[in-house]
């Protein structure tokens, strides 16, 4: 009886199975498969701030479908150049998403129709189909067309209030600063600032350098936030890279801080002024010269134009007309209007004690000599940067910096202003001998065999890194070529002879950009050989 029941049940199951196969469409989706049929965007237009981002909400008709890939396409099926889809994510509500679009900083003004696209892959056929949203418009926040400069470098736009321009080193002019990153760097949205001229001899040339003071601290090109930034004109530099390369060499040493810098194009009040170097200004700050609130930043400069300054009588330097007794010191920090008489007395006394130790009979004594007052390693590295770049201004002091915490030793640095005579062999005998062997204090320091040995050992240690600099020059030549073409249509660096007795300064002012860079590389290699032989 039991076997008969089992036979009947088996027959029924076969019949039911047959009926099921006949009723199912073999091309129909399985019960677990979910297809995407449409995408709906929440708005038909979106505004992107310069260098910024904006969000676009969208939904799918089939909420159980999970989007894993999403792209943007314009009307001809290509990805837009001015902005991109940075990322997208689900909101937590079924079928709802948010796409984040980012301005790329390559076009200032645009108005582009695009759509969202989801690719769908067919595992059986290997083919891909697409589901797209309706087109929507993405516009730039800036709708005023600025002067377009396309050299591959970032573009700095400075617009002074009323277009009055910058004509003074003392009068600060209200302005707006906007930086287009050109895809290589983050753009800076327009911010309020004040601008004035800067420099000593460089302010006398037709291409002017500028100091920018932002109303609020901001990061530029990923550098730490700060209010103060400088635009160096590099007027006399046919290579456009003397300061750039010098800061690179400085960054290879143990100096506590080297100004970060990036070559840019400058447009001032709608007029393109050529190639500039945007660089961090030398200032006391936790991310720059970090000496604390009661520390000191000093400058030795023969121009003797600091508001708080004195001539220390214990040293000497070799100027244009021979030996000059006394070394000019100026206080950059504390600020001139804030420094107290006690603070000034303390730093003047410390410099005097240091100089007395350097020129004293027991100057090389490790406990009572110069090493008691100065951070020797920093003075070694500082000298090496100046010597490697053949910067004679360490001996005829100009923009020579030192710094000190209230209770610490005197430190050398930071490096600054490497354009006049750098690796030129025109203003120094760097082709055959050392340039700074008799620079301030160093003539005496080199009389200590221990100091000389430390310099030699440190140079040997740095040499493998230093030998990569010619390749660094090659990289920047490629990046600066288009900028150089425009810059030298605007300015003639040979006009620097107006401040040098009718003679050009660096010796390459009348060469082509490429020839000048090749000469810079040759001189760099040659002077490294001189240093290897003579240290």
CA dist list (Å): 359 to 247, 398, 437, 447, 478: 31, 22, 16, 11, 48
Task: With a cut of 70, say whether residue 270 has pLDDT above it.
Answer: yes
Q: C-alpha angle with apex 148: 142 to 153, nearest 5 degrees?
A: 105
CATH architecture designation of domain 39-140: Sandwich (2.60)
CA dist list (Å): 20 to 10, 27, 30, 135, 360: 15, 15, 14, 44, 108
CA dist list (Å): 86 to 55, 69, 246: 10, 12, 36
Lowest average pLDDT, out of 8-17, 196-205, 209-218, 474-483, goes to 8-17
For 460, other C-beta atoms within 10 Å of its C-beta total 12
Over residues 131-137, the mean pLDDT reads 94
pLDDT in tens, 306-335: 999 999 998 888 887 788 999 999 999 999
- Asked if 87 and 120 touch (Cβ cutoff 8 Å), the reply is no
Q: pTM of this prediction? A: 0.79
pLDDT value of position 244: 98
Higher-pLDDT residue of 127, 518 = 518
Question: Which residues are registered as beta bridge partners of 98?
Answer: 57, 89
CA dist list (Å): 162 to 168, 173, 211: 16, 10, 19
pLDDT value of position 121: 84
Enumerate the domain spans of the chain: 39-140, 155-280, 296-534
pLDDT in tens, 407-448: 999 999 999 999 999 999 887 789 999 999 999 999 999 999
Maximum distance among all Cα pairs of the chain, rounded to whole angstroms: 130
pLDDT value of position 146: 82
On average, the pLDDT of the chain sits at 91
Over residues 278-285, the mean pLDDT reads 98
Lowest average pLDDT, out of 104-113, 165-174, 321-330, 502-511, goes to 104-113
pLDDT value of position 201: 84
Quick one: tokens of 147?
Answer: 């002067």
Residues 6 or more apart in contact with residue 129 via CB below 8 angstroms = 119, 120, 122
Q: Which of 147, 272, 155, 144 is nearest to 207 (CA)?
A: 272
pLDDT in tens, 63-120: 888 999 999 999 888 999 999 999 999 998 889 999 999 998 787 788 899 999 999 9
Task: With a cut of 50, say whether residue 347 has pLDDT above it.
Answer: yes
Q: Where does the pLDDT of residue 158 fall: very low under 50, low under 70, confident under 90, or very high at 90 and above?
A: very high
Q: How far apart are CA 225 and CA 221, in angstroms?
A: 10
In sign, the C-alpha dihedral spanning 169, 246, 354, 334 is: positive
CA dist list (Å): 42 to 39, 69, 98: 10, 19, 10
pLDDT in tens, 7-52: 333 433 333 333 333 343 444 444 446 788 899 999 999 999 988 9
pLDDT in tens, 211-245: 999 999 999 999 999 999 999 999 999 999 999 99
Q: How far apart are CA 376 and CA 383, in angstroms?
A: 11
pLDDT value of position 123: 74
- Asked if 332 and 298 touch (Cβ cutoff 8 Å), the reply is yes
pLDDT value of position 33: 62
């Amino acid at each position: 009886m039991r076997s008969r029941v089992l036979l009947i049940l088996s027959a029924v199951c076969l019949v039911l199975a047959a009926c099921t196969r006949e009723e199912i469409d073999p091309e129909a989706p399985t019960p677990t498969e979910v297809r995407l049929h449409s995408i709906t965007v929440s708005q038909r237009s979106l505004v992107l701030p310069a260098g910024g981002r904006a969000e676009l909400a969208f939904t799918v008709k089939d909420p159980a479908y999970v989007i894993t890939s999403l792209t943007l396409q314009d009307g001809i099926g290509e990805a837009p150049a001015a902005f991109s889809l940075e990322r997208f994510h689900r909101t937590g509500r079924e079928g709802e998403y948010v796409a984040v679009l980012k301005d790329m900083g390559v076009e200032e003004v645009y108005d582009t129709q695009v759509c969202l696209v989801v690719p769908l892959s067919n595992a059986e056929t290997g083919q891909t189909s697409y589901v797209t949203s309706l087109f929507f418009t993405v516009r730039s926040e800036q709708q005023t067309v600025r002067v377009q400069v396309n050299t591959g470098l970032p573009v700095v736009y400075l617009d002074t209030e009323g277009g009055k321009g910058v004509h003074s080193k003392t009068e600060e002019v209200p302005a707006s600063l906007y930086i287009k990153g050109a895809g290589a760097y983050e753009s800076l949205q327009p911010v309020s600032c004040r601008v004035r001229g800067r420099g000593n001899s460089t302010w006398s040339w037709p291409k002017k350098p500028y100091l920018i003071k932002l109303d609020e601290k901001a990061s530029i090109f990923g550098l730490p936030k700060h209010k103060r930034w400088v635009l160096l004109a590099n007027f006399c530099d046919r290579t456009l890279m003397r300061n750039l390369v010098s800061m690179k060499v400085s960054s290879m040493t143990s100096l506590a801080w080297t100004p970060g810098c990036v070559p840019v194009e400058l447009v001032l009040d709608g007029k393109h002024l050529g190639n500039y170097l945007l660089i961090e200004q030398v200032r006391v700050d936790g991310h720059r010269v970090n000496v604390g609130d009661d520390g000191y930043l000093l400058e030795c400069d023969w121009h003797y134009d600091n508001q708080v300054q004195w001539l220390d009588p214990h040293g000497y330097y070799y100027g244009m007309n021979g030996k000059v007794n006394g070394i000019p010191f100026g206080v950059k920090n504390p600020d001139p209007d804030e420094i107290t008489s006690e603070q000034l007395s303390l730093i003047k006394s410390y410099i005097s004690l240091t100089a007395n130790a350097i020129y004293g009979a027991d100057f090389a004594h490790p406990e009572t000599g110069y090493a008691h007052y100065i951070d020797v390693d920093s003075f070694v590295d500082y000298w090496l940067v100046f010597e490697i770049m053949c910067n004679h201004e360490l001996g005829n002091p100009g923009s020579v910096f030192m710094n000190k915490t209230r209770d610490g030793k005197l430190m050398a640095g930071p490096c600054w202003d490497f354009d006049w005579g750098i690796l030129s062999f025109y203003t120094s005998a760097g082709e055959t001998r050392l340039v700074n062997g008799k620079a301030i204090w160093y003539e005496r320091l080199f009389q200590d065999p221990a100091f000389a040995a430390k310099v030699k050992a440190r140079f040997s240690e740095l040499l493998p890194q230093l030998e990569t600099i010619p390749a660094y020059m090659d990289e920047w030549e490629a990046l600066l070529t288009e900028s150089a073409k425009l810059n030298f249509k605007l300015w003639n660096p040979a006009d620097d002879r107006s401040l040098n007795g009718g003679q050009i300064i660096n010796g390459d002012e009348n060469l082509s950009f490429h020839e000048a860079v090749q000469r810079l590389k040759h001189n760099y290699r040659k002077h490294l050989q001189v240093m290897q032989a003579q240290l």
